Amino acid sequence: MTAQFTEQQRQQQASNHQARTSALGALSRPQNLAAPSVSYQAGGHLLIIGADDLTRLAACELLSQSEDGTISIKADSGVKSISLLITDAVQNPGNDALEQALIQTEKLPVAYGNLNELKGYLGEFQALIKPTATDTANADSIEAMDLAPALIHRSHFDLVLDLGREPALAQELSPPGYFAVGSDSESTLASVLEELPNFDGEFEKPLYFRINNDICAHAGRGKTGCTRCLDVCPADAISSINNQIEVDSYLCHGAGSCSTACPTGAISYGMPKAEMMADYLTRLLAHYRDQGGVQPVILFHADEQEVATEQLASNIIPVALEEIATVGMELWLHAFNEGASRIIFLTSDNGAHRTPASLIQLLDRETKLGNQIISAMGYGENSLSLCADIAQLSEDNFNTPEQDGIQVAPASVTASVSASGVQTLGEAPSKRQRLISNINRLQQEAPAGSEKVELIPLTASAPFGQISIDADACTLCFSCANICPTSALQTGGETPAILFTEKDCVQCGLCESACPETAISREQRFIFNSDVRDNPRTLHKDEAFCCLDCGKPFAPTSTVNKMKDKLKDHAMFAGEALRRLELCEDCRVKDIYRGLAADPQAQLNL
């Protein structure tokens, strides 16, 4: 049904359209002009995997026969050598072309067996196979064989064409140079064969990410904590090696899900940097507003998705990203503070440009979390949303009721922009600080009269919350504070105490797993009282016990009392020696040597 607009609405639509055109035309997309890169080198050595007939028929598409009957690889195929890995018997013995295919491919390097492992990327594929065993009893004892050295006397294959029923590499985003066609898609196979010449030579791609393991909450002291980046990578490019997060830049597609999921900013996206994107959004929305535009809606979409402004309602401003998950909540809320009324993420289910399911799941989870926090402050419940059909965003089908979006007073927005257009108010050096800063700004400008809540419970995956300590079980050993990657937990200095700052806690669980007394429990929540959330509070403390000799505080009083109770019958602390437990480490050693000097015979008791 076509929407009916009043004359006033048409005039505002025209004003919005002009403001959007002006804003998009006045600003260049943020990008790093000299981004670091990684390079691939490929020489056209192809491995085809699949059933006997399928692999040979596919190979024939790359072969030609001269007048004298010589079989050779087509010069324009982009392929230097063809190797076959036969994993299954002939699937269609009635195919008339099969006999000729057998003749044409009889001199190609061929291996028979089950694929044990396939790993790598363009120019560096390694295939390990288990040769077929005639004696099934000894099948398990047969070692896997590295196929490339055996067939073509090279360390690796450059390209892999997979015709198996199930792909050997099952991740959503396959590494470059790997093509999983399947066994029943002739059109896809033809398309892949046409692409092969484009994968011969040397190639470069951006190094999308930076890793700062100093603030990573993944692991510490042999304990595993946050695994959010590992859980969402659609390319399986992230791994934990020796309890440290590593990103394989050659497998990485730059999907951005890891940086969005990372609660500390340990993985940051560099195409562009967060600071550049924040500045771009600030200037874009300011220009739109200065030109008379109202209720701007930011539409984030992948760069490969072609989005024309004519397809969109006049107040929707498209912002192209490498991938739609490359900006996280800290930048979404920044856009709201700079005047955006809603943010929409355009997904796609179109063939080669299909949005990976893991990215959709991540964005769905993060937008629900964002909406939960935003609505609790009194704003609309649909401020963040996903859209799979661009037709829903047309002028006739889209509207932005005020109650569904965020309305931030322009005065608070202009206060955040300096004369140069760079954000100055609330700018934070870390992802976490930027996020909390933008939440605080939104809370200050929350709609008057809206119902305010003190805190909201969150799901177990949320990177916000508090920890609690069982005072009766805690010995104040400080294992939790020593392992905390964000310093949300800290010691009390000379006072035996554990201090906790909730805004810094990302709920990684390292403190809980490191506690030897199992005295720590976690609670996912978001508290809006900034005095409670942003300032340290004492979770547990004790009086410091001072050394009887030198007066130095060296342990919690409760710990000393427990030690005395447990060790009172120990030979080392019998009688007057029990006093040593009330001495600091230095004075305790001195007291032991004084006792040995006074009674040399006591040395025999050691």
106-139 per-position pLDDT tens digit = 999 999 999 999 999 999 999 999 766 555 556 6
Distances (CA, A) of 279 to 27, 102, 331, 380: 11, 62, 10, 25
pLDDT averaged over every residue in the chain = 89
Higher pLDDT, 434 or 186: 434
CB 54 within 8 Å of CB 183: yes
Residues 5-41 pLDDT 10s: 888 888 999 999 999 999 999 988 887 666 688 999 9
pLDDT(604) > 60: no
Boundary (domain end) residue, out of 521, 541, 561: 541
One-letter-per-residue 3-state SS of 150-176: HHHCCCCECEEEECCCCCCCCCCCCCC
pLDDT of res. 576? 78
pLDDT of res. 426? 43
Q: Is residue 454 part of a domain?
A: no
Residues 220, 226, 232, 235: what is their CA dihedral angle, to the nearest 10 degrees? 0
pLDDT(412) > 50: no
Is pTM beyond 0.85 here?
yes
Q: What is the CATH number of the domain that holds 165?
A: 3.50.50
Choice among 60-64, 404-408, 567-571 with the minimum mean pLDDT: 404-408
pLDDT of res. 267? 95
pLDDT(605) > 60: no
Residues 438-482 pLDDT 10s: 999 999 988 877 777 899 999 999 999 999 999 999 989 999 999
Of all residues in the chain, the percent with pLDDT exceeding 90 is: 69
Is residue 558 located within the same domain as residue 419?
Answer: no
Q: Is residue 558 part of a domain?
A: yes
pLDDT of res. 594? 83
pLDDT(416) > 50: no
Q: Is residue 450 part of a domain?
A: no
pLDDT of res. 162? 96
Is residue 472 located within the same domain as residue 587?
Answer: no
Q: Is residue 453 part of a domain?
A: no
pLDDT of res. 429? 57
Residues 43-87 pLDDT 10s: 999 999 999 999 999 999 999 988 888 999 999 999 999 999 999
pLDDT of res. 19? 93
CA distance 428 to 333: 13
Is residue 24 located within the same domain as residue 47?
Answer: no
Q: Is residue 449 part of a domain?
A: no
Is residue 469 located within the same domain as residue 577?
Answer: no
- Assign residue 256 a region: left if phi > 0, alpha if psi is -120 to 50, beta otherwise? left
Amino acid at 36: P
pLDDT of res. 183? 62
Residues 230-280 pLDDT 10s: 999 999 999 999 999 999 999 999 999 999 999 999 999 988 889 999 999
CA distance 111 to 86: 6
First-to-last alpha carbon distance for the chain, in angstroms, is 94
Is residue 263 located within the same domain as residue 276?
Answer: no
Is residue 534 located within the same domain as residue 551?
Answer: no
Residues 504-532 pLDDT 10s: 999 999 999 999 999 999 999 999 999 99
The model's confidence at residue 598, banded by pLDDT at 50, 70 and 90, is confident
Residues 141-173 pLDDT 10s: 678 899 999 999 999 999 999 999 899 998 999
Is residue 180 located within the same domain as residue 51?
Answer: yes
Angle of CA points 477, 483, 484, to nearest 5° = 110
pLDDT of res. 557? 85
Residues 271-300 pLDDT 10s: 888 999 999 999 999 999 999 999 999 999
CA distance 297 to 336: 9
The model's confidence at residue 587, banded by pLDDT at 50, 70 and 90, is very high
Q: What is the CATH number of the domain that holds 502?
A: 3.30.70.20
DSSP one-letter code for 235: T
Q: Is residue 181 part of a domain?
A: yes
What does DSSP say about strands 238-241 and 244-247: parallel, antiparallel, or unpaired? Answer: antiparallel
Boundary (domain end) residue, out of 498, 519, 541: 541
pLDDT of res. 415? 40
pLDDT of res. 188? 84
The model's confidence at residue 570, banded by pLDDT at 50, 70 and 90, is confident
Helices (H) and strands (E) in the chain, counts: 17, 29
Which residue from 357, 445, 393, 423 is spatially nearest to 173, judged by alpha carbons? Answer: 357
The model's confidence at residue 105, banded by pLDDT at 50, 70 and 90, is very high
DSSP string spanning 25-79? HHSPPP--TT--EEEEEE--EEEEEEEHHHHHHHHHTTEEE-TT--EEE-TTSS-
Higher pLDDT, 116 or 401: 116
Choice among 45-54, 148-157, 382-391, 421-430 with the minimum mean pLDDT: 421-430
Range of the domain at 394: 7-31+272-444
DSSP one-letter code for 521: E
DSSP string spanning 303-319? TTS---GGGS-TTEEEE
pLDDT of res. 137? 55
pLDDT(436) > 90: yes
DSSP one-letter code for 263: S
CA distance 151 to 147: 6
Choice among 33-42, 83-92, 305-314, 411-420 with the minimum mean pLDDT: 411-420
Q: Is residue 460 part of a domain?
A: no
pLDDT of res. 422? 38
Boundary (domain end) residue, out of 541, 565, 592: 541
Helix (H, G, I), strand (E, B) or coil at 18: helix
Is residue 227 located within the same domain as residue 365?
Answer: no
Handedness of CA 595, 596, 597, 602 (dihedral sign): positive
Q: Is residue 1 part of a domain?
A: no
Peptide bond connecting 272 to the previous residue in cis, omega within 30 degrees of 0: yes
Residues 189-202 pLDDT 10s: 999 999 999 999 99
pLDDT(432) > 90: yes
Is residue 531 located within the same domain as residue 561?
Answer: no
The model's confidence at residue 595, banded by pLDDT at 50, 70 and 90, is confident
Number of domains the chain contains = 5
pLDDT of res. 133? 56
Angle of CA points 41, 203, 153, to nearest 5° = 15
pLDDT(421) > 90: no
pLDDT of res. 250? 96
Is residue 50 located within the same domain as residue 18?
Answer: no
Is residue 54 located within the same domain as residue 133?
Answer: yes
Is residue 66 located within the same domain as residue 126?
Answer: yes
